[in-house]
Amino acid sequence: MSESPTTFCGYVAIVGAPNAGKSTLLNALVGAKISIVSSKVQTTRARITGIGMAGAVQLVFLDTPGIFVPKRRLDRAMVQAAWSGVEDADTILLVVDVAHGYDDETRAILQRLRDRKVPVVLALNKVDKIPREKLLGLTQALNNDFPFAATFMIAASRNEGVDDLRRDLAKRMPAGPWLYPEDQLADVPMRFLAAEITREKLFNALRQELPYAATVETEDWKDQKDGAAKISQVVFVERETQKKIVIGEGGAMLKRIGAAARREMETQFERRVHLFLFVKVRGDWGDDPERYEAMGLDFPKG
């Protein structure tokens, strides 16, 4: 008679409308910051894999871009990445921003999820932002419309309710060996993570629509003899006027972005970082397959 398996491991796809708080929740579930967080919508572009532990259970979280109606090629690639994450999941975690309520985007997502054979868990996020009566009404409306396996009320930015959610997800994972070392937090190349850190600082430093016309790539990474990392990155923008905004008066904006990115990289990578940023104009980067490959996205045809 064979012994019962002692470890469990499975995939959890985190889905939801843009700015529902998916990346903040992923960071809370994993216990470290591995995904870009911004108040602006659609900041996550590629699928980020985070690894969380709950006793003998390893949870592999797939943080997907927000699901919305795509208008550009990049939009289509982001939505495609989101739904491909759903295909791999043992459990789907739908995150809903309670301040937005049961909106058209959430309805469209639930319509696509109806034919899925795996459990769908509902996480009502930012519950500290609305009155309890409104929250209870929203909870009832969503559960009347869809057979959720469980519902949790959380505030991911404050880590409230996250432990209970993690324990519930862990109970749903199948038996099997762990896919990653116990202390690994993410399945993301360091070069990609470094680019995401700089892109987050770009989002936070600049207002209006400029960040959506920009992308960041790590062109070179050299480990130095003293243990430091020398990292060279390029910020691609679409127009010369955008380049001037990113650089700023006397290079002040680029220095600010670079300093913030370097500090976070040193914290994340636990080593000194020498960061060099350059800004280039590439008007067609949104139609360049190489840029999509660098972002971890499939290039949509047509």
The CA distance from 155 to 160, in Å, is 5
Quote the pLDDT of residue 132: 86
The CA distance from 36 to 19, in Å, is 12
* Burial grade of 8 (CB within 10 A; 0-12, 13-18, 19 or more): buried
Region 126-149: mean pLDDT is: 93
What's the whole-number average pLDDT of the chain?
81
For residue 71, pLDDT over 50 is answered with: no
Quote the pLDDT of residue 21: 86
The answer to whether the beta carbons of residues 187 and 51 sit under 8 Å apart is yes
The CA distance from 208 to 226, in Å, is 41
CB neighbour list of residue 127: distance below 8 Å, 6 or more residues apart: 98, 135, 153, 154, 155, 160, 161
Distances (CA, A) of 215 to 204, 206, 279: 14, 13, 10
User: What is the Cα 189 distance to its own chain's centre?
Assistant: 14
The CA distance from 109 to 13, in Å, is 13
- With tokens 């919508």, the residue in question is 41
Quote the pLDDT of residue 191: 82
Residue 279 — pLDDT band, cuts 50, 70, 90?
A: very high
List the beta bridge partners of residue 59.
Answer: 10, 52
Across the beta sheet with 57-63, what order do the strands follow?
48-54, 57-63, 8-16, 91-97, 120-125, 150-153
Residue 88 — pLDDT band, cuts 50, 70, 90?
A: confident
For the entire predicted model, the pTM comes to 0.65
For residue 203, pLDDT over 90 is answered with: no
For residue 201, pLDDT over 80 is answered with: yes
Secondary structure (DSSP) of the chain: -PPPP--EEEEEEEEESTTSSHHHHHHHHHTS--S---SSSS---SPEEEEEEETTEEEEEEE-PPP----SHHHHHHHHHHHHHHHT-SEEEEEEETTT-S-HHHHHHHHHHTT--S-EEEEEE-GGGS-HHHHHHHHHHHHHHS--SEEEE-BGGGTBSHHHHHHHHHHTSPB---SS-TT--B---HHHHHHHHHHHHHHHH--TTGGGG-EEEEEEEEE-TTS-EEEEEEEEESSHHHHHHHH-GGGHHHHHHHHHHHHHHHHHHTS-EEEEEEEEE-TTGGG-HHHHHHHT------
> What angle, rounded to 10 degrees, do the helices at 240-247 and 252-269 form?
70
Per-residue pLDDT reduced to its tens digit, 3-19? 555 899 999 988 888 77
Residue 1 — pLDDT band, cuts 50, 70, 90?
A: very low
Quote the pLDDT of residue 147: 95
Per-residue pLDDT reduced to its tens digit, 213-257? 678 888 999 999 999 999 999 998 888 888 999 999 999 999 999
For residue 195, pLDDT over 50 is answered with: yes
